[in-house]
Structure 1
Amino acid sequence: MITRRTALTLLASVALPSISFAEAPSLAAEVRLGTLPPLPERLPRNPRVVDLPAMGRSTGRYSGSLRMLISGQRDVRLIPIYSYARLVGYNADLRLAPDLLAGFEAEDDRIYTLHLREGHRWSDGSPFTAADFEYCWRDMMNNPELYRGGPPVDLIADGKVVAFEVIDPLTVRYTFASPMPDFLPKLAAPLPLILFAPHQYMRQFHASYQTPEKLAELVEINRVDDWQSLHAKMVRSIRPENPDLPTLEAWRPRTAPPAEQFVFERNPYYHRVDQMGQQLPYFDRIVLAVASAEIIAAKTATGESDLQANGITFPDYTLMKQAEKQHPLKVSLWRRTQGSSVSLLPNLNCNDPVWRKLFQDVRMRRALSVAINRKELNKVNFFGLGRESADTILPDSQLYKPEYASAWAQYDPDLANALLDELGLTERGGGNIRLLPDGRQAGIVVETAGESTMEVDVLELITDHMRDVGIAIYIRSTQRDVFRSRAMGGEVQMAVWQGLDNAVPTADMSPDGLAPTSADQLQWPVWGTWYASAQTAGKAPDMPEAIQLIELLHRWRASTTTPQRTRIWGEMLRLWADQVFSIGTVNAAPQPIVRAVRMRNIPNDALYGFTPTSFLGAYMPDTFYMARE
């Protein structure tokens, strides 16, 4: 929690002189040969010490390979999310703490001073210093050939770009013109705001430091169009496909695509150690085997994965429990952190003028919501283990109120019919389906990304619910990229997706998911693009309630205390619930987590979601290990 005039600094919590550092056996040969410095020379002078017994965990042992399954090359992006090395990060209690940083100071939520760890190094052994932040700021963000619109919107407050300064080789400062309370949370995100890059490595791909002849050669070798594309490709850390790019994560990529198997090996310069002085991670490598999405669950059930959550949903739970009897596996049920496991998102920006007008009328959204029998969905798809709810936050959040969950979430087909009649949709056609004002059948095409059988199962039941009130539902599955492109183009009438990304927020986390702020929000992608692009693309919202949400978000960004933010969150949650911008179904749904029975330090019960836990990241997979047989 960061409040006005707060200054926080956290250093190593264990007295370093009492620790005798222990080398990972897999690196011992390189140390003996002199090709790798001994561990004390590779660690920062003040490494992050993880006190496992204090966390209720056991001190681990070095283990070999951790096997996991992915559905395609793009899923290599899961490793930096799981590894979760961030400047600051959330722990299992969803509290922010320095990680890569030795500490930080926040003044008035406006001036942020970041302190690096002395002697910290990238995975190639080069120093991690303020020069890496300066390169990112000066040579990337403020180079119009790389960032055409200037620094990202996350570094702009009140229309003014943040002021950046290097205080000394281990200290940098970001000063905003007005409060920016979500600056630290954005650094802790699964896809974080990136403030630094390995400058010693990246300068070879930059026109300011490389000759035109060499750049042309590198452009051709890497099959890109120009040096800007080359730089973007080589610096990309969120999707780690460049084995040569230095990293600060626990595991570094060793495989370039294309491949059927991707290997990540331990980072010999990783900054974390356990309380006994053993450098983390405990696993020497992670091996990702590519399998089609349809068979990941089956392969997991036959013991081909040591740790699997990706590609498994609750309908696979029965199969996993049966597999426990035949293979050395254990399956746990965590709780998903989305506001709804499956949500219907009427596109308020769709091209069809009749449907756009209807979807922008709250009576239509409320009618569709109360037409859904959530109890049946929960019983059929989740064995009754989920919570029937609107798309909203969970009781795990201190901001939760029961009325948010119950708003327009009751099963009431009579009310749905009355609302639809009130909208003027009183005429009926074939199959007793209502007719639109222009005489067309009131049929809604609901589009999915085609990645979840659960979405289709839920939609099939909802199709029956909607037919009972005179609305026809047609399901269309497409690929994710096509799906999102169609939504942005206004071609999607209604999408099915998960609900709020972060349904376990604190008041100090940004409520931007409740307002049109991103093109990924499929209920208003055009409005979201307008906000995310700093008003250079998309269109401004023209709906009073959407405008009000943006105004409330601006008030939150200008706030300086937690009580102020709590009140603003409450206003936004009430408006979101009342307006039903996202039609939720069931939340707190169980997520199967399958692991080898010998794996230790992984929780049996936890929250699982992209935000804020970074899936497994908040639980520190670098501390997971295999017990002896």
Structure 2
Amino acid sequence: MYSGFRLGAMIVASFGFFTALAAAVSAEITVYQAPEAPKVQALKETPSLAPMVNAGQLPKVQDRLPQVPRVSVSGPKLSVGKHGGELRMLVTRDKDVRLLNVYGYARLVGYNEALEVEPDLLERLDVEDGRIFTLKLREGHRWSDGHPFTSEDFRYFWEDVANNEALNPAGPSQVLRVEGELPEVEFLDETTIRYTWSKPNPFLIPALAGARPLDLFVPAHYLKAFHPAHGVQAEIDKAVKAAGARNWAQLHNRIGNMYKATNPDLPTLQPWHNGVKPPSTRFVAERNPYYHRIDASGQQLPYADRFVLSVVGGALVPAKTSAGEADLQSRGLHFSDYTFLKAAEKRSGFDVRLWKTVRGSQLALYPNMNVNDPAWRKLNRDARFRRALSLAINRSEINQVIYYGLTLEGNNSVLPDSPLYKEEYRAAWADFDIKKANALLDEVGLTERNDSGIRLLPDGRPAEIIIETAGENTEEVDVLELISDSWKAVGVSLFTKPSQREVLRNRIFAGETMMAMWFGYENGIPTPYTSPEEFVPIHQQSYHWPKWGQYAETAGKAGEAVDMEKPERLMALYGDWLNAKSKEQKTAAWEEILEIHADEVYTIGLVAHVPQPVTVANSLRNVPEEGIYNWDPGAQFGIYRPERFWFDR
């Protein structure tokens, strides 16, 4: 149910422990190392950087790379490319400049195309008992301005930022707290850092590998000048005034946010470095001359000299894409644009590819079990009512009419690509069965109807369900219109209420919505090691039980305590998963969680695997023909490493 840029506490990612990782596993220690790379005979200078090297303005390539660079381009599906060109993409708001850090996907550890965890910025990661994490940096690795990337960047972040009350009143991230316990952090030498908890922390690695990663470091050499503990106060005061900030802390947070990519002066470890300060309608990111990855022939990546993001209105993205104004495009494109884009392929010189989405459901209905209205709260909490609504949806019709029969029908659950998948999870209460749906609604007690055939609530009101949406695309409207037709057959009226995304969320959190339409579960391909938190009432962002989630997030200071048997069982199973010592124990917890969800139908899914159009310029190489398009895990294009995309011109 989590959209691409939901930036809350949700952490969903697939641990690749059980797959063929490049990891040596003993009884106690898991060692993450990159797969053995092909031998590189000699490093080659990047043509666009050669003039600066020859002029003495930039070190030679061998002096810019770590002692052990990451060899990135190898394998039968990837070709060694050529440097040059600019990779153009369209975005709909200037804040989307942060996509440079999403798609750049330089992470301490990250996922590869098989969703296996591999070191990236790290040369190696040792994990002992799931609670001791020893990070080994690459010797000689440098920030984009040439300054060494060392354990000092971690120490400064931990001691001077994360635990500084002025900069971070809430303290370090919840990901770094295991039952409230913060880690012991040791800075063993210039390239070795260790985090130790008394109990396992199963969330750290997925957070580090996320589309929006957990920060454990910042460029200390740059930010120290703006921190009273290290900088000159007079100079800090001068910078605060020039920036129009309230104080040094606000300035430090503003200029030091690596994810947002809004400060051209902030050094980066990503393949491209944004050089344009917002607001702007065009962001140009230049290659990072100290990027740590190379290809198998010894060329430093990225291949493209620049990554350019042009800001346009959302409605214009399909039209401008069809006109050939983007070399690589997905955001702002929907399946409904497919035929329009296909018609422009030859004229504008691009290829339209359909990648597989892996949400539990493309769209889902979320009956709010914490709704303020007592009559609707009682109905939404009744599994028979939720099952009836699910049975009264013709998913085959939605699949054929909206998606040309290309999707996977079923409820909001895990997908066949997941090792946890069982057909019965998706099939439960997902048949189109009007007779059974009517019988269930009669059993609930909704036996009286008005003159229009609409069932009446116990208080005499008609059963009119208002489904609220973010109103961001016509797909929602089209799907709800089909659902409305079939629900009438069971005596239920459906009304759609679109609003803005933030307004919708606030109404859900406040208990003002009886039902909402949103995306299905973000990660439909979990493994036993993936956190099942999307399926447990611990997050306010869970639109079917927001007040229970708020209660969990605030330790009982807000929201409502869980007061139903099955959701309480889900909480207990989540505890079992957290404390599980083996894959078998984690699998057992997951399976019972999925069984409960399938039978209780807390969310009503529709179809999954809706194809995502991806347009690729005909000259652009190394972009997969088929791929998984997902925020977490995947970072959309991130796991396919756009630094490896190159122009064959």
Residues in 1 aligned to 2:405 and 2:279: alpha-carbon distance in whole angstroms:
42
What's 1:61 paired with? 82
CA deviation after TM superposition for structure 1 residue 395, in Å: 0.6
Moved more, 37-46 or 6-15: 6-15
Q: Secondary structure at the match of 1:496?
A: strand
Residues in 2 aligned to 1:276 and 1:371: alpha-carbon distance in whole angstroms:
59
What's 1:589 paired with? 610
What's 2:322 paired with? 301
1:478-517, CA deviations, whole angstroms, 9 ceiling, x for partnerless residues? Answer: 2222222222222222221111111112212222211123
For the pair 1:439 / 2:460, whether they are aligned, the reply is yes
Residues 282/546 of structure 1: CA separation in 2 closer, same or farther (3 Å cut): same
CA deviation after TM superposition for structure 1 residue 220, in Å: 3.5
Q: Secondary structure at the match of 2:441?
A: helix
1:166-213, CA deviations, whole angstroms, 9 ceiling, x for partnerless residues? Answer: 111111111112112232122111112211111111223333334554
Q: Which amino acid aligns with 1:472?
A: S
Q: Which amino acid aligns with 1:142?
A: N
Q: Which amino acid aligns with 2:514?
A: Q
Q: Which amino acid aligns with 1:325?
A: K
CA deviation after TM superposition for structure 1 residue 89, in Å: 0.7
Percent identity (aligned): 45
> Which stretches in structure 2 are left out of the alignment for 5+ residues?
1-15, 18-24
What's 1:91 paired with? 112
| TM-score normalised by length of structure 2 | 0.93
Q: Contact 2:111/2:634 (CA < 8 Å) preserved in 1?
A: yes
Residues in 2 aligned to 1:84 and 1:532: alpha-carbon distance in whole angstroms:
29
| Residue of structure 2 aligned with 1:8, choices 23, 27, 31 | 31
For the pair 1:242 / 2:263, whether they are aligned, the reply is yes
Residues in 2 aligned to 1:45 and 1:499: alpha-carbon distance in whole angstroms:
44
Q: Secondary structure at the match of 2:305?
A: strand
| Residue of structure 1 aligned with 2:505, choices 449, 470, 484 | 484
Q: Contact 1:12/1:48 (CA < 8 Å) preserved in 2?
A: no
What's 1:361 paired with? 382
What's 1:599 paired with? 620
CA deviation after TM superposition for structure 1 residue 534, in Å: 4.9
What's 2:289 paired with? 268
What's 1:522 paired with? 543
1:92-149, CA deviations, whole angstroms, 9 ceiling, x for partnerless residues? Answer: 1111110010001011111111100011111121211111111121112212223323
For the pair 1:41 / 2:29, whether they are aligned, the reply is no
Residues 9/396 of structure 1: CA separation in 2 closer, same or farther (3 Å cut): closer
Q: Secondary structure at the match of 2:167?
A: coil
Q: How many residues align?
A: 626
Write the mapping of 1:335-346 to structure 2, written as runs, cut at 5 A. Answer: 335-346=356-367
Q: Which amino acid aligns with 1:10?
A: Q
CA deviation after TM superposition for structure 1 residue 535, in Å: 4.7
Q: Secondary structure at the match of 1:432?
A: coil
Residues in 2 aligned to 1:509 and 1:365: alpha-carbon distance in whole angstroms:
27
1:432-480, CA deviations, whole angstroms, 9 ceiling, x for partnerless residues? Answer: 2222222222222212222222122111211212222222222122222
Q: Which amino acid aligns with 1:614?
A: A
| Residue of structure 2 aligned with 1:396, choices 417, 426, 438 | 417
Q: Secondary structure at the match of 2:198?
A: coil
Residues 528/218 of structure 1: CA separation in 2 closer, same or farther (3 Å cut): farther
Moved more, 340-349 or 111-120: 340-349
Residues in 1 aligned to 2:554 and 2:153: alpha-carbon distance in whole angstroms:
26
For the pair 1:580 / 2:601, whether they are aligned, the reply is yes
Q: Contact 1:66/1:306 (CA < 8 Å) preserved in 2?
A: yes
Residues in 1 aligned to 2:137 and 2:176: alpha-carbon distance in whole angstroms:
20
Residues in 2 aligned to 1:533 and 1:39: alpha-carbon distance in whole angstroms:
50
Q: Contact 2:218/2:258 (CA < 8 Å) preserved in 1?
A: no
| Residue of structure 2 aligned with 1:29, choices 27, 51, 62 | 51
| Residue of structure 2 aligned with 1:371, choices 380, 392, 406 | 392
Q: Which amino acid aligns with 1:38?
A: K
Moved more, 420-429 or 40-49: 420-429
Q: Contact 2:73/2:644 (CA < 8 Å) preserved in 1?
A: no
Q: Secondary structure at the match of 1:66?
A: strand
| Residue of structure 1 aligned with 2:340, choices 313, 316, 319 | 319
Residues 430/189 of structure 1: CA separation in 2 closer, same or farther (3 Å cut): farther
Q: Contact 1:153/1:534 (CA < 8 Å) preserved in 2?
A: no
Q: Which amino acid aligns with 2:595?
A: R
Residues in 1 aligned to 2:237 and 2:495: alpha-carbon distance in whole angstroms:
51
Q: Contact 1:12/1:47 (CA < 8 Å) preserved in 2?
A: no
What's 1:189 paired with? 210
Q: Secondary structure at the match of 1:7?
A: strand
Moved more, 520-529 or 169-178: 520-529
Q: Contact 1:13/1:49 (CA < 8 Å) preserved in 2?
A: no
For the pair 1:569 / 2:590, whether they are aligned, the reply is yes
Residues 553/604 of structure 1: CA separation in 2 closer, same or farther (3 Å cut): same
Moved more, 417-426 or 244-253: 417-426
Q: Secondary structure at the match of 2:354?
A: strand
CA deviation after TM superposition for structure 1 residue 537, in Å: 4.3
| Residue of structure 2 aligned with 1:406, choices 414, 419, 427 | 427
Residues in 2 aligned to 1:246 and 1:533: alpha-carbon distance in whole angstroms:
35
Q: Which amino acid aligns with 1:559?
A: A
1:25-78, CA deviations, whole angstroms, 9 ceiling, x for partnerless residues? Answer: 2222222222222211111111111242x2521111113111111111122222
CA deviation after TM superposition for structure 1 residue 12, in Å: 7.4
Residues 80/464 of structure 1: CA separation in 2 closer, same or farther (3 Å cut): same
Residues 12/501 of structure 1: CA separation in 2 closer, same or farther (3 Å cut): closer
Q: Which amino acid aligns with 2:499?
A: T
Residues in 2 aligned to 1:58 and 1:194: alpha-carbon distance in whole angstroms:
32
Q: Secondary structure at the match of 1:160?
A: coil
Residues in 2 aligned to 1:114 and 1:379: alpha-carbon distance in whole angstroms:
50
What's 2:13 paired with? none
Residues 83/466 of structure 1: CA separation in 2 closer, same or farther (3 Å cut): same
Q: Contact 1:51/1:274 (CA < 8 Å) preserved in 2?
A: yes
Q: Contact 2:34/2:118 (CA < 8 Å) preserved in 1?
A: no
Q: Which amino acid aligns with 2:401?
A: V
CA deviation after TM superposition for structure 1 residue 9, in Å: 4.1
Q: Contact 2:446/2:458 (CA < 8 Å) preserved in 1?
A: yes
What's 1:130 paired with? 151
Q: Contact 1:130/1:172 (CA < 8 Å) preserved in 2?
A: yes
Q: Contact 1:270/1:279 (CA < 8 Å) preserved in 2?
A: yes
For the pair 1:351 / 2:369, whether they are aligned, the reply is no
| TM-score normalised by length of structure 1 | 0.96
Write the mapping of 1:210-229 to structure 2, written as runs, cut at 5 A. Answer: 210-229=231-250
CA deviation after TM superposition for structure 1 residue 430, in Å: 5.0
Q: Which amino acid aligns with 2:31?
A: L
Q: Which amino acid aligns with 1:307?
A: L
What's 1:288 paired with? 309
What's 1:230 paired with? 251
Q: Secondary structure at the match of 2:33?
A: coil
Moved more, 471-480 or 270-279: 471-480
> Which stretches in structure 1 are left out of the alignment for 5+ residues?
none
